[in-house]
Amino acid sequence: MGSLSKTQVDQLGDRLRKGKIAEGDFHELDAYRRSFAEAYEEIVAIVRDATQLEPTGRPAKSTTSIIEKLRRETIRLSQMQDIAGCRLVVASLLVQNQFVERLKSVLAKAVVIDRRKRPSFGYRAVHIIATAQNKPIEIQVRTELQHAWAQMSEKLSDVVDPAVKYGGGDSVTQEILAGFSKIIASFEDKESVASAAELVDGLRQLLMYAIEKWTSNPKSEEGN
């Protein structure tokens, strides 16, 4: 599978997107995602050496997640940059900037996607797309607050609506996420690190409140 041409990979992706799945397509997709493993390990080793931190990682996105993304977006399978990736969570915006610059200096041709000033549905972080063995590997660099927000979004998508992560779901949920995203951005711009733990705790408390609220009456706010 690793020897398939770009055209063949995209043809596979088109079949999966349209639901016109040929015999063996799931096996081929599984083999394709697993082909990122060596490149992933190479990038993780570079990140570890450059930062002296142990990144958390995902050697291969699940086949289900890949198919869902193909159907949700217009992206081609060969263009998908997050099939394999790792994550660093750091204390503050200042440290985040320092680590991003450090990784840029050790990763040839790295592409930086800064989602702090232009967030994706409230999601803020810096993503670095590195390349090893001709395969893209995503490196997420988040602050603790950005990571807490992302966890909240994930949890709300579990208990409210899977579309929450992508700007869908009910308006109340989106307002909560957007509001806290803006608060975090404003807070971090001031680099008030001493109070960061308190804001993280506040986010977690809000998350637990939201989970309790929506699991007890998940449809109460829909359409408002």
Quote the pTM value: 0.84
Q: What mean pLDDT is predicted for residues 49-71? A: 94
Tell me: pLDDT of 223 over 50. Answer: no
What percent of the chain shows pLDDT beyond 90? Answer: 58
Tell me: pLDDT of 221 over 80. Answer: no
Q: What mean pLDDT is predicted for residues 178-197? A: 74
Q: What mean pLDDT is predicted for residues 122-149? A: 96
CATH top class, domain 9-142: alpha beta
DSSP label at residue 209: H
DSSP label at residue 195: G
41-45, 131-135, 150-154, 201-205: range with lowest mean pLDDT: 201-205
Residues of the chain with CATH 3.30.460.10: 9-142
**DSSP class per residue in 128-177:** EEEEETTEEEEEEEEEHHHHHHHHHHHHHHHHT-GGGGGT-S-HHHHHHH
pLDDT at position 183: 83
Count of CB atoms situated within 10 Å of the CB of 19:
8
Tell me: pLDDT of 90 over 90. Answer: yes
pLDDT digits (tens, 9 = 90+) for 14-30: 999 999 888 899 999 99
- Please give the mean pLDDT across all residues of the chain: 87
